[in-house]
Amino acid sequence: MKRRFTWLTMMAIAMLLATGMARAQGAKQGPDVQRDPDVEKESLHNLDVARQYFKLKKAYKASLDRCEEIIAGNPGFSKIDEVLYIAGESNLRLADEKGKQKVKTEPDKLREAARDYLSQLVNDYPQSKFRSQALDDLKGLGGPKPKVAAP
């Protein structure tokens, strides 16, 4: 009987210590973000295509279209910071008439859209690896727009 009690006590202590260790290692607490796996998969595909258009083909209009599709259909996408960055960069390059595709939109409107996307990235995703690049681009656009408070 004493052995069983000792064994159960040791197991309880071990479990308590393991729980404490998990918290110390930065384990997530609170509710997890629920994402639809199908929508996430489709968004990942669109992001991959947008990257290809942007980097390899210099097709900035096509890249922007894919990014806007992700933003409209899945604003909670796990890589939305990269989507915002590519959308902003695509607008900037289209404004400078770079790339293989031409658009009829005025360059000032394209720069303003770029500023919107890059400001959202800077304001909403401070830990993003794209933040410093976005800040550099925003210097030439008048800096980031201030974050709009929700009503």
Looking at residue 2, its pLDDT comes to: 63
pLDDT of residue 27: 40
Interior angle at CA 87, CA 53 and CA 148, nearest 5: 170
pTM of the shown model = 0.77
Task: Give the per-residue pLDDT at 129.
Answer: 97
125 falls within a domain: yes
Number of domains in the chain: 1
Residue 31 lies in a domain: no
d(Cα 106, Cα 26) in Å, to the nearest integer? 48
**Is 30 domain-assigned?**
no
- Tell me what pLDDT residue 22 has: 47
| 94 occurs within a structural domain | yes
Ranges in the chain, pLDDT < 50: 22-31
Residue 18 falls within a domain, yes or no?
no
User: Residue 54: which CATH number?
Assistant: 1.25.40.10
- Residue 25 lies inside a defined structural domain of this protein: no
Range of the domain at 145: 37-151
Assigned domain for 11 exists:
no
Q: Is residue 97 part of a domain?
A: yes
Burial-class residue 39 by CB neighbours within 10 Å (0-12, 13-18, 19+).
middle
User: What are the angstrom distances between the C-alpha of 86 and each of 23, 35, 100, 118, 144?
Assistant: 35, 22, 16, 9, 16
Distance CA(13)–CA(66), nearest Å, equals 53
Looking at residue 109, its pLDDT comes to 97
Give 37-80 pLDDT, tens digit per residue.
Answer: 999 999 999 999 999 999 999 999 999 999 999 999 999 999 99
